[in-house]
């Protein structure tokens, strides 16, 4: 099953989506099941493109998506730190992420806020 809408396989929305690498990832257009692979892939692509300051917009709602994003960030070796965005950048509906210049071995991260 390719997931292409014309072949009857997969579900609508399963098609690959090209994301602009502008430092902002808005998760409103993605299903929760896509977040587990999307966020790490986007971080790696952003890092490869030279971006080091990122913003992930997850919305406020119940906070479940924010907690999932934070758990992914806490485990990712390219993430130096992350924090809730200020009100001008989305408040608790967005998370600001700082990436390392180069990947460091696990266990050397500091300055993180879960």
Is residue 27 over pLDDT 50?
A: yes
How do residues 77-87 score in pLDDT, each as one tens digit? 999 999 999 99
Residue 82 resides in a domain: yes
Strand order through the sheet with 24-26: 24-26, 53-57, 94-99, 79-84
Q: Is residue 105 in a domain? A: no
Q: What is the CATH number of the domain that holds 45?
A: 3.30.1370.110
pLDDT-derived band at 11, boundaries 50, 70, 90: low
pLDDT value at 8 more than 50: no
Domain-located, residue 15: no
Q: Residue 13 domain-assigned? A: no
Tally of domains in the chain? 1
Q: How confident is the model at residue 13 (pLDDT cuts 50, 70, 90)?
A: low
Domain annotation covers residue 17: no
In a domain, 46, yes or no: yes
Residue 113 has pLDDT above 80, yes or no: no
Looking at residue 108, what is its pLDDT? 42
Q: Using the 8-state DSSP alphabet, how is residue 19 labeled?
A: -
Determine the structural domain holding residue 34 and report its residue range.
24-99
pTM of the model: 0.74
Distance CA(44)–CA(36), nearest Å, equals 13
């Amino acid at each position: 099953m390719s997931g292409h809408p014309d072949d009857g396989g997969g579900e609508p929305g399963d098609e690959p989506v090209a994301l602009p690498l502008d430092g902002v990832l808005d998760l409103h257009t993605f299903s929760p099941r896509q977040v587990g692979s999307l966020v790490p892939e986007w971080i790696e692509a952003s890092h490869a493109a030279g971006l080091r300051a990122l913003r992930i917009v997850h919305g406020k709602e119940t906070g479940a998506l924010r907690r999932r994003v934070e758990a992914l960030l806490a485990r990712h070796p390219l993430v130096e730190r992350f924090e809730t965005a200020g009100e001008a950048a989305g408040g608790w509906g967005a998370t600001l992420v700082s990436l390392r210049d180069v990947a460091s071995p696990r266990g050397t991260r500091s300055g993180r806020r879960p």
